[in-house]
């Protein structure tokens, strides 16, 4: 138990580093970022000396302890990794050499990720709201329970072993999810492809293909529902979070068309170009130009079948191929090009069977994703629990 470990002031095991380097305007330097919540010490950027607003910086060395004056109370501290040896930092990131015969750097590195260490940093921080900073004098005066060096190393080895198992479990989850996604995409592609099916241009199987208003909306606090590309995700119509426009604007925006249940919405801009969903709710809303509105002729084309095709690898490939302005702007899917999309058109009964099959597959995938999310949360909770036990002397 930690009660058997002596209390040691941090000043006894840490030595402030004053190693400074003069910056050469023509040389490149790595700058450091210390992430909050114990997420580690990483490279911020590589920059030329002339771009740094100083002629001198503190220089890091692998194995040093670094802490953010501003975000120490949010868990921004850690050990400088080997790949950041020789990087530069400002005085806002104090560097400390670890006294090697008293403290194992890895032991301090793991301890700095605990809630108890963050609490110590909060106690050592001072200042008014939005200007709270770590006091170096108060920080180094703090005391920690410190076991003998051999015990520190044993604890570190145990934590490393368990952390590695957690990392491996997470990687297995990611690999399984990725393989399942690829398998689902392949199955969807195969299911939606049949050389014997009749095909046609999208506009020939639809009653309407248009977009939302091109006018700049005037948002109000109390008015009509107004949706944009963020409200359409693959297979999911998401009107819950929305802006509002005046009823007068709403009437103008819907003069040409008013979305209705059973319509298909397709994103025309941004990273999610080509994502499609069926309007599955009875609500009144207007749409922005970032959304295309497609009204299938249900005597020939089922909305759910169309959505499966648009969200399939083949459908998304068509959307990307028809996107204008890529590389110069966020790009947009031209309506005339959208109307020319070649789509498969099997008999309605076949469309219903395909939709039923692909829907069942999606349900299974969503179930796996939910289980993965829950398992990931459990794995994320394991390391803090392990660290808590370790630094109570119970590991």
Q: What is the pLDDT along the chain (395 residues), one digit of tens a residue?
A: 566 899 999 999 999 999 999 999 999 999 999 999 999 999 999 999 999 988 999 999 999 999 999 999 999 999 999 999 999 999 999 999 999 999 999 999 999 999 999 999 999 998 876 788 999 999 999 999 999 999 999 999 999 999 999 999 989 888 888 888 788 888 888 888 888 899 999 999 999 999 999 988 899 999 999 999 999 999 999 999 899 999 999 999 998 889 999 999 999 987 788 999 999 999 999 999 999 999 999 999 999 999 999 998 888 888 877 776 554 456 788 888 899 999 999 999 999 999 999 999 888 888 888 888 888 888 888 988 999 898 888 87
Residue 223 Cα distances to 31, 148, 245, 247, 290, angstroms = 49, 68, 5, 6, 20
Is residue 293 within a helix (H) or strand (E), and if so which, with residue range?
strand 291-296
- Tell me the C-alpha to C-alpha distance, in Å, between residue 319 and each of 167, 271, 275: 37, 11, 9
Q: Going by C-beta distance under 8 Å and a sequence separation of 6 or more, which residues neighbour residue 327?
A: none
Residue 151 is given by DSSP the state H
Q: What is the mean pLDDT of the chain?
A: 91
Q: Which fold has domain 198-345?
A: Adenine-n6-DNA-methyltransferase TaqI; Chain A, domain 2 (3.90.220)
End-to-end C-alpha distance for the chain, whole angstroms? 9
Same fold, 2-146 and 198-345: yes
Task: Give the Cα separation of 379 and 386 in Å (integer).
Answer: 11
pTM of the model: 0.69
Chain centroid to Cα 48, Å, comes to 29
Q: Which of 26, 22, 25, 29 is nearest to 47 (CA)?
A: 29
Q: What is the dihedral of CA 354, 358, 361, 367, to 10 degrees?
A: -140
Pairing of strands 286-287, 219-227: parallel
d(CA 140, CA 384): 24
Residue range 2-146 in CATH 3.40.50.2000:
no
Q: Where are the domains of the chain?
A: 2-146, 198-345
Distance CA 185, CA 180 (A): 9
48: enclosing H helix or E strand: strand 40-48
Strand order in the sheet with 286-287: 243-245, 219-227, 286-287
Cβ contacts of residue 130 below 8 Å, gap of 6+? none
- 8 Å CB contact between 97 and 128: no
């Amino acid at each position: 138990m930690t009660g058997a470990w002596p209390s040691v002031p941090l000043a006894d095991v840490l030595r402030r580093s004053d190693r400074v380097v003069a910056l050469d305007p023509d040389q490149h330097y790595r700058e450091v970022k210390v992430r909050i919540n114990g997420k580690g010490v990483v490279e911020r950027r590589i920059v030329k000396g002339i771009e740094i607003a100083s002629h001198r910086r503190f220089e890091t060395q692998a194995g040093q302890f670094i802490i953010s004056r501003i975000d120490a109370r949010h868990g921004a501290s850690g050990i400088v990794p080997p790949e950041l040896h020789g990087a530069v930092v400002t005085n806002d990131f104090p560097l400390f050499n670890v006294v090697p015969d008293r403290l194992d750097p890895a032991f301090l590195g793991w301890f700095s990720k605990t809630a108890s260490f963050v609490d110590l940093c909060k106690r050592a921080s001072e200042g008014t709201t939005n200007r709270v900073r770590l006091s170096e004098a108060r920080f180094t005066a703090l005391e920690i329970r410190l076991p003998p060096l051999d015990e520190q190393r044993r604890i570190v080895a145990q934590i490393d072993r368990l952390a590695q198992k957690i990392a491996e479990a997470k990687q297995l989850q990611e690999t399984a999810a990725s393989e399942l996604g690829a398998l689902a995409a392949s199955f969807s592609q195969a299911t939606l492809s049949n050389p014997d099916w009749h095909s046609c241009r999208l506009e020939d199987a639809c009653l309407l293909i248009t977009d939302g208003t091109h006018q700049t909306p005037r948002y109000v606090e109390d008015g009509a529902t107004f949706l944009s590309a963020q409200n359409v995700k693959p297979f999911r119509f998401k009107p819950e979070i929305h802006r509002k426009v005046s009823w007068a604007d709403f009437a103008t925006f819907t003069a040409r068309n008013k979305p209705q249940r059973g319509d298909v919405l397709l994103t025309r801009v941004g990273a999610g170009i080509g994502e499609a969903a069926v309007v599955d709710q009875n609500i009144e809303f207007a749409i922005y130009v970032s959304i295309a509105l497609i009204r299938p002729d249900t005597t020939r084309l089922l909305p759910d079948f169309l959505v499966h095709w648009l969200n399939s690898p083949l459908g998304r490939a068509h959307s990307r191929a028809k996107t204008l302005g890529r590389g110069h702007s966020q790009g947009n899917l031209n309506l005339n090009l959208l109307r020319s999309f070649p789509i498969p058109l099997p008999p309605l009964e076949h469309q219903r069977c395909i939709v039923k099959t692909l829907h069942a597959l999606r349900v299974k995938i969503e179930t796996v994703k939910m289980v993965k999310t829950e398992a990931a949360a459990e794995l994320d909770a394991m390391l803090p629990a392990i660290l808590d036990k370790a630094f109570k002397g119970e590991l």
